[in-house]
A and B are shown apart, each in its own frame.
Chain A
Amino acid sequence: MRWLDSVVRPLRPPRASGEPNRRGRLFWKYLGIFVALITVCSIATSLMQVRPWYDETQNSLNRLQKERAGAAAIKINAFIKTIQDQVCWSMAPGRTGGDANIDQRREDYYRMLRQTPSITEVRYLDTTGIERLKVSRVGISSAGNGQDFSAQDEFAEARRRGNADCLNVAKSSYFGPVYFKNGSEPYMKVSISEPGPPFGVTVADVNLKLIWNIIQELKVGETGLAYVVASDGRLIAHRDLSLVLKNTDFSNLPQVKNAIPNADTNGNEDEAAEVGVDHLNRQVLASFAQVDPPGWFVFVELPLDEAFAPINSSVSRIPYILLVGIMLSALLSLFLARRMANPIRALQVSAAQIGSGALDQRISIKTGDELESLADEFNRMAANLQESYAGLEERVKERTQELALAMQEIQEKSVQLEVVSQHKSDFLAHMSHELRTPLNAVIGFSHVLLQRMYGDLTEKQEDYMQDILTSGKHLLDLINDILDLSKIEAGRMDLTPSFFSLPGVLKEGITVIRDQAAARGITVDLSIAEGFDLVEADHRKIKQIIFNLLSNAIKFTPDGGRISVSAGIDTEEVLVTVRDTGIGIPTDEQQRIFEDFHQVAGNATAVGTGLGLALTRKFVELHGGRVWVESEVGIGSAFTFSLPLKTEFAVEEVPFVQPSASVSTTPTLV
């Protein structure tokens, strides 16, 4: 089927991987539909034609056979008519009885025998039925043996029909039944009453074997035949003479059985062909014509096998012709289906390519129908898509460029800011250092003066000197804080870890504020978890954290208040809490208090630089810990910071004390 491949192959588009195997499906569908349609149509037409075909053939054969039978009937009629005429005209009118007339009559009869080979014997019966003359072809003629025939049909029937009119002899002829001479030869008696005086009756014995010649000449197809039956169904003539000689009775054949009663109605001539059975029990197409007189039937029969042989052979060829037709139409359908499927396939392939992004793909179909319009629509759609796509890309590019520029600007600004910040920190560090040197002189000397090393001081001087000392110290603190802060921001603050006793540092801090607390009636208590002692951290910075928290607590706790300090170990960190009964911090301020230079707004009593908590946070964070506040306005605040137990500088031999289940809540009065 290489040819099929060559037809089908161009239909197969390149298949994208993963696409279900649908190639050529439309083509095969079309092909199948076409072929099925043609096949069904062909078979249906054939089937519809076969039946009328049979009927038409049967009818035309029937007409033909009817004509044949009619022609044979005419010939047989002529044969009978000749006999009648010969018999009638042999009886020349005007003769009277007597021997002389018998002699004349004998010669007339001989003449009749010579002219009519089928008459074997002829007799003359006088008006009383007595045989007066017999002339025979095979026996001695006699002048009558005086036998009385008056009771016989050939006499009585002829007389009954009246004297003959030779111009209308059929009416006055009597035809006897067919009988067989010597048991095998068909004969019939024909008798006619004389047209003139003496009105005797001539009886002729007719050998019907000669009708056989007529029947034999009747060609009915290849195997068909004709035969003649008498009104009682007995065979008179048949192509097969032996059947006649055997005295065969055909009255049982269905077509004969039907014909005989129908003959009287004369309505059989237009009847359709009859399917009968012949003497060999074959199915035959039978037609007949009547020979009247003497009331015989000529049958013409054609075996159905032969009658329908052309049709049957044609019908048997139909499947082959159908096959060839279907093959041809399949071939045709192949091209037709290809023609129909190709544009659709092309459309599909192009659509698939457009779908997978090849927007410059265009479909080229020139079918001049809806498919071409569809292709045009596709092309228009693809063009629109391509256009939109191109615009979008342009915009994205623009925006990306803008973004890149902005980013670059931000980066530049950030670098600048960083530089500025560095400068600020550097400046602050330098400035603090530079400020501290003269301030040390101010504090040192005012301290020396207050110790009266250089003389006594007036009360006024002492007050002022005290102010100078206090302000100087304050200024120094401020500068130290700023220095620390700027160091942290400049990244120059380093931790100097060491092992020290945290409870010791706490106690030290409390000692610093003890006087001030005692003066204001503030209770300070300390609770340390049992066994808690050494930590590794930057000793100075932890001390400052604790100092800052305690200063804040004493600063914002009204007189008679209470400050509680507790220290312990949580699961992974050391927790230190300083709780006071101060003014409290509003919720919205609680985060901001850890920012630089921030103090709680509206706090009239606020004293300080505002850098304490910021530094505290930064120091704690330097240790990897956290600091937070829990506070309620008017009730108090609790500042807690944590230090991780395992810091990067943690030393193994540090004897960490595990948190005890029984934390002492007993306040330690300091």
Chain B
Amino acid sequence: MLCTGILVSCGPGQLPAAPTKTPLIGYLAPAAPGPSPYYDALIDGLRDEGYVLGRNIDLEARYAEEQPERFPQLVQELLDRHVDVIVASSSPAAVAAQSASSTIPIIFVGVGDPIGVGLIDSFDRPGRNATGTTTYSPELSSKRMEYLREALPAVQRVFVLWNEDNPVKKRDLEETRVAGALLGLDVESAPVRAATDFEPTFQAEAALGCPAVVVLSDPLTVRAASRIADFAAKHKMPGIYEGREFAEAGGLMSYAANRADYYRGAAKLVAKVLRGTSPGELPVERPTVFEFIANRDAERKLGVDLQPAVVARVDEIIGTGDGVREAPCGG
């Protein structure tokens, strides 16, 4: 009958969503512009959340080019562009952004101590206009010392290379010292402030004997990962590093969260903010996955033998270890 005919035509239907303004993300990075796995991780993470660059989001990037004092000016440039959210890589960028605006949402990436630098009130409830991902994990410092101790039982002395200007790292240093004491290791602090400080530091340490090196991750040290690894190889110094970047560059071992994960985590927070959640309501995210990486080539070059039990715990092995095994330090 006609009535049935009418109803048959009443199929389900969807109405298209009303188009809205494309959100604009401001991106603040301390480095110089150029290809970056972290930037890629951020963009990948946004894509996973359904935000595709150039399609339904736009991004405006500003680079401090190793000059943190430029951040306030860069922040102002982003604010003039009326960005909807600022992704701030590193503490100085986040602090500059927050001091320029208390309303524009700020998502910081891999900030060591967001409470300490005054970005948030607490991890589970940041309370202000900023949230993000934190590297805050002082426990890992002791774990690195444990792995170093177990992998190379012969090591007696350790020096810790860290950026003196980064206050967060002081805490890691302390943790490292405590762990060292616990494990019967001499721990020395080797603070640096600039890229030019690395070589003199390595030379000075090498002059004192054959120490192992522990490198704390920081924009300064991460950007110099390759040079640091080279210095370590040159002076036959085994070591454990905070971050896979170092192991990939030739460092012996690394144990840390994947730095790119901070950017992916930040991308998720950006998506939540864009969907309307206040950053003050979004808990700061901490890493849950830590990578223990060993470089067999570095092992060969340094002339050391990692304890098999420790190698068995490694999550990722770089290199094959084939080739001529060089003489160790002092050997």
Shortest beta-carbon distance from B43 to chain A in Å: 19
Which residue of the partner chain, among B3, B4, B13, B123, contacts A313 with CB atoms under 8 Å? B13
B312 — which chain A residues lie within 8 A by C-beta? 107, 110-111
Tell me, in angstroms, the Cα distance from A137 to B142 when the chains sit together: 10
Contact of A309 among B6, B11, B14, B140 (CB under 8 A): B14
Interfacial residues of chain A within 175-195, with CB under 8 A of chain B in the complex: 182-185
- Residue numbers in B under 8 Å from A391 (CB-CB): none
Contact B10 A318, beta carbon cutoff 8 Å: yes
B124 adjacent to A245 (CB under 8 Å): yes
Complex interface: chain B residues within 8 A of A139 (CB): 139, 142-143
Q: Does A138 contact B (CB under 8 A)?
A: yes
Given contacts A138-B143, A325-B6, contact A185 B286 (CB under 8 A): yes
Chain B residue contacts of A46, Cβ below 8 A = 3, 6-7
Question: Within 8 Å CB of A247, what residues of B?
Answer: 124
Contacts of A328 in B (CB 8 A): 2
Partner among A113, A114, A140, A313 whose Cβ is within 8 Å of the Cβ of B145? A140
Q: Give A90-133 interface residues, CB cut-off 8 Å to B.
A: 107, 110-111, 113-114, 117, 120
Return chain B residues, CB-CB under 8 Å to A49: 7
Check if A564 is an interface residue, CB within 8 A of chain B. Answer: no
Q: Contacts A139-B142, A310-B14 given: A329-B288 contact, CB under 8 Å? A: no
Instruction: Give the most central of A46, A136, A241, A329: most B CB within 10 Å.
Output: A241
Task: Please report the C-alpha to C-alpha distance between residue A340 and residue B324 in the assembled complex, in whole angstroms.
Answer: 108
Which residue of B15, B125, B289, B313 is within 8 Å of A246 (Cβ)? B125
Indicate if the CB atoms of B143 and A136 lie closer than 8 Å. yes
Contact with A along B124-150 (1 / 0, CB 8 A): 110000000000010110110110000
Complex contact A246–B124 (CB within 8 A): yes
- One digit per residue, 1 when the CB lies within 8 angstroms of any chain A CB and 0 when it does not, for chain B 145-182 equals 11000000000000000000000000000000001001
Chain B residue numbers with a CB within 8 Å of A138 are: 137, 139-140, 143, 290
**B283-326 Cβ-contact flags toward A at 8 Å (1 or 0):** 10110111000000000000000000100110100000000000
B: contact size bracket: 35 or more
User: Cβ of A183 and Cβ of B123 under 8 Å apart?
Assistant: yes
Residues of B within 8 A of A447 (CB): none
Within 8 A of A (CB), among B262-289: 272, 277, 281-283, 285-286, 288-289
Interface contact A314-B313, CB-CB below 8 Å: no
Which residues on the B side are within 8 Å of A513 (C-beta)?
none
Contact with B along A136-174 (1 / 0, CB 8 A): 111111000000000000000000000000000000000
Across the interface, do B3 and A207 meet the contact criterion of CB distance under 8 Å?
A: no
Cβ-defined contact, B313 with A325, below 8 A: no
Q: Of B4, B9, B289, which is within 8 A of A321 by CB?
A: B9
Contacts of A44 in B (CB 8 A): 3
Within 8 Å CB of A183, what residues of B?
122-124
Name the one of B2, B10, B122, B182 contacting A38, with C-beta atoms under 8 angstroms: B2
Say how far B123's CB is from chain A's closest CB, in angstroms.
Answer: 6
Nearest opposing residue in chain A for B150, CB measure: A141
Question: Given A111-B313, A139-B142, A325-B2, are A314 and B125 neighbors across the interface (CB < 8 Å)?
Answer: no
Cβ contact of A184, chosen from B15, B124, B146, B315, cutoff 8 A: B124
Q: Does B208 contact A (CB under 8 A)?
A: no
Complex interface: chain A residues within 8 A of B3 (CB): 38, 41-42, 44-46, 325
- B207 proximal to A (CB < 8 A): no
Output the least CB separation between B78 and chain A (Å): 25
Q: Across the interface, which residues of B come within 8 angstroms of A400, CB to CB?
A: none
Structural contact, A184 and B290, CB atoms closer than 8 A: no
Contact B286 A182 (CB under 8 A): yes
Q: Closest approach, in angstroms, between the C-beta of B159 and any C-beta of chain A?
A: 20
* Mask of A32-66 contacts with B, CB within 8 angstroms, 1/0: 00000010011011100100000000000000000
Interface of A is mostly: helix
- Specify which chain B residues have a CB less than 8 angstroms from the CB of A539 in the assembled complex: none
B132 to nearest A CB, angstroms? 13
Judged by a CB distance under 8 angstroms, whether B183 is at the interface is yes
Considering only residues 84-139 of chain B, those with a C-beta below 8 Å from chain A are 122-125, 137, 139
| Given contact pairs A107-B312, A114-B315, A141 touches B146 in the complex (Cβ within 8 A) | yes
Complex: A240 Cα to B283 Cα, angstroms: 11
CA distance A107 to B312 in the complex (A): 8
A contact residues around B288 at 8 Å (CB): 117, 120, 185, 207, 209-210
Q: Is the CB of B14 within 8 A of A313?
A: yes
A242 touches B282 (CB 8 A): yes
B281 touches A242 (CB 8 A): yes
Q: Are A45 and B283 in contact (CB under 8 A)?
A: no
- Contact pick for B13, options A137, A207, A210, A310, CB 8 Å: A310
- In the complex, chain B residues whose CB is within 8 Å of the CB of A140: 142-143, 145-146, 179, 182-183
Q: Answer whether residue B35 sits at the interface, using C-beta atoms and an 8 A cutoff.
A: no
Which residues of B lie under 8 Å from residue A110 when comparing CB positions? 309, 312-313
When distances are taken between beta carbons in the complex, the residues of chain A under 8 Å from B281 are 242
The CA-CA distance from A140 to B146 in the complex, in Å, is 6
In the complex, what residues of B have CB within 8 A of residue A321's CB?
Answer: 6-7, 9-10
* Also in contact, A41 and B1, with CB within 8 A (given A183-B124, A310-B13, A321-B9): yes
For A41, the chain B residues whose CB sits under 8 A away are 1-3
CB distance from B242 to the nearest CB of A (A): 13
A371 lies within 8 A of chain B by Cβ? no
Known interface pairs A138-B143, A185-B286; A45-B309 also in contact (CB < 8 Å): no
- In the complex, the answer to whether A329 meets B140 with C-beta atoms within 8 Å is no
* Contacts A107-B309, A140-B183, A183-B123; A117 near B289 (Cβ below 8 A): yes
Q: Which residues of A contact B5 (CB under 8 A)?
A: 325
Given contacts A107-B312, A246-B283, contact A322 B6 (CB under 8 A): yes
- CA–CA, A325 to B9, complex, Å? 11
B19 close to A (CB within 8 Å): no
A314 to B8, CA, bound (A): 11
A311 part of interface (Cβ distance < 8 Å): yes
Q: In angstroms, how far is the closest chain A Cβ from the Cβ of B217?
A: 16
A28 to B153, CA, bound (A): 106
CB distance from A40 to the nearest CB of B (A): 10
CB atoms of A114 and B313 under 8 A apart: yes
Q: Which of A232-272 contact B (CB under 8 A)?
A: 240-242, 245-247
Report B1-58 residues with CB < 8 Å from chain A CB.
Answer: 1-7, 9-15
Q: Which of B10, B12, B145, B179 has the most CB of A within 10 A?
A: B10
Give complex CA distance A313, B14 in Å. 8
Query: What residue in chain A is nearest B144 (Cβ atoms)?
Result: A140
When C-beta atoms are compared, the residue in chain A nearest to B9 turns out to be: A321
Report yes or no: A310 in contact with B124, Cβ–Cβ below 8 A. no
Q: Measured between alpha carbons, how far is A210 from B14 in the docked complex, in Å?
A: 34
**A317: Cβ under 8 A from any B Cβ:** yes
Q: Select from chain B the residue with minimum beta-carbon distance to A109.
A: B313
Contacts A182-B286, A209-B288 given; does A317 touch B13 at CB 8 Å = yes
* Interface positions of A from 199 to 229, Cβ below 8 Å from B: 207, 209-210
Interface residues of A (CB under 8 A from B): 38, 41-42, 44-46, 49, 107, 110-111, 113-114, 117, 120, 136-141, 182-185, 207, 209-210, 240-242, 245-247, 309-311, 313-315, 317-318, 321-322, 325, 328-329
Q: Enumerate chain B interface residues (CB-CB to A < 8 A).
A: 1-7, 9-15, 122-125, 137, 139-140, 142-143, 145-146, 179, 182-183, 272, 277, 281-283, 285-286, 288-290, 309, 312-313, 315
| Chain A to chain B contacts (Cβ below 8 Å), 28 pairs | A41-B2, A42-B2, A44-B3, A45-B4, A46-B3, A46-B6, A46-B7, A107-B309, A111-B313, A113-B313, A114-B313, A136-B139, A137-B143, A139-B139, A139-B142, A140-B142, A182-B123, A182-B286, A240-B272, A241-B283, A242-B272, A242-B283, A309-B14, A313-B14, A314-B12, A315-B10, A317-B13, A329-B2
List the 6 closest pairs (A to B, CB-CB), nearest first: A310-B12, A245-B283, A138-B139, A45-B3, A184-B124, A325-B6
Given contacts A110-B309, A318-B10, A322-B6, 20 further A-B contacts (CB under 8 A): A42-B3, A45-B3, A45-B6, A46-B6, A138-B137, A138-B140, A140-B179, A140-B182, A182-B123, A183-B122, A183-B123, A184-B123, A184-B124, A184-B286, A207-B288, A310-B14, A313-B13, A313-B15, A321-B10, A328-B2
